[in-house]
Chain A
Amino acid sequence: MNDRLFSEEATVVRQYRELLQAKPSEDSNDYRTALSILTEKYQELLEQAKFLTRISDRLENRLQLSNQALAEKNNELKQTLAELTRARVSKSAITIIYVIAACLFVFEEYFIEPFLGFMGNIMVYGIAIKLAIALLLKPAENILERVLLKQLTRRRPNG
């Protein structure tokens, strides 16, 4: 804080110090007048101190509220970012799983089913394998999603 801000008050203090150090006056009215002026100045200063404290308290309160709002917004932003990351990872996981599933179906159709011919009813075994692949899609997607999320978290420790 700049000292010039309270230059008037500092002047009053200096003047009264000088008065105290000066040769004592024989007229008691001089002191009475000086004391009266000082009391008025003190009263003024007291009112100013109350005023500035009120202003300062309000500013502090406002600052605290702003900080709180900022913290809340920051949390919201973090949550949104986490959701966005999760959505992106989920999308990637779905794509990967469906590509793998398509490959498995093709593999099953062209490489496994010809061997199933030796075991009897091709259609039953074929459907059972395809059903197993379809049923495994969702759990595989969840596992892949978790793995990808873990990888991302490891890459961004503060995220």
Chain B
Amino acid sequence: MEPLILPSTANTPYVHFDPTTGILEMRGRSTPENPSEYYARMMRWVDQYTQHPREETEVRTYFEYFNTSSSKCLLELMKKIKTLRNAGHAVNWVWMYEPEDEDMREAGSDFSDLLKVPFSIVVRP
């Protein structure tokens, strides 16, 4: 399975989903014009990955900003990744935020509550 690498742009995040390490990383800004279309590629990749996942998967997210539509897509993506946990695989959720960015910290907490999975919410090193 090929890794998914999407370079960052002014309104889309950098994405690196690596099937060999099991690290799924997203960082930057997410305000794409058509979020469902943009996130569809990630959804498809995760669908494939869930067929042959690693024992342990780490989801690393660091967002400077995302719009409401992106948060809905992120939620759907995370729900898909969560199915790995339901299938008995370990998933670590790391939500990073910029120091003093309380909004992003609270957003991480909201995602964690809604997905009912513990997030490691940390200040970006």
Binding site for B on A (CB under 8 A): 1-2, 4-8, 47-48, 51-52, 54-56, 58-59, 61-62
Contact = CB atoms under 8 A, between A and B. Distances in A.
26 contacts: A2-B35, A2-B36, A2-B37, A5-B72, A5-B73, A7-B36, A47-B114, A48-B75, A48-B114, A51-B71, A51-B75, A51-B110, A51-B114, A52-B68, A52-B72, A54-B106, A55-B68, A55-B71, A55-B107, A55-B110, A56-B68, A58-B103, A58-B106, A59-B67, A59-B68, A62-B103
Q: How large is the interface on B (under 10, 10 to 19, 20 to 34, 35 or more residues)?
A: 10 to 19
Contacts of A51: 71, 75, 110-111, 114
A48 B75 CA distance: 9
A154 B69 CA distance: 48
Given A5-B69, A62-B65, 13 more contacts: A2-B36, A4-B37, A48-B72, A52-B71, A52-B72, A54-B110, A55-B68, A55-B110, A58-B106, A58-B107, A59-B67, A59-B68, A61-B103
Nearest to B113: A51
B34 interface: yes
Contacts of B72: 5-6, 48, 52
A51 B76 CA distance: 13
A43 B108 CA distance: 21
Looking at A2, A47, A51, the one whose CB has the most chain B CB atoms below 10 A away is A51
A7 B108 CA distance: 24
B36 A5 contact: yes
Given A47-B114, A55-B110, A58-B103, A4 B36 contact: yes
A6 B71 CA distance: 12
Contacts of A52: 68, 71-72
Contacts of B34: 2
A33 B107 CA distance: 34
Interface in B48-85: 65, 67-69, 71-73, 75-76
Contacts of A56: 68
Contacts of B110: 51, 54-55
A2 B103 contact: no
Contacts of A1: 69
Nearest to A7: B36
Given A52-B68, A54-B110, A59-B68, A5 B35 contact: yes
Contacts of B68: 52, 55-56, 59
A7 to B, nearest CB: 8
Nearest to B107: A55
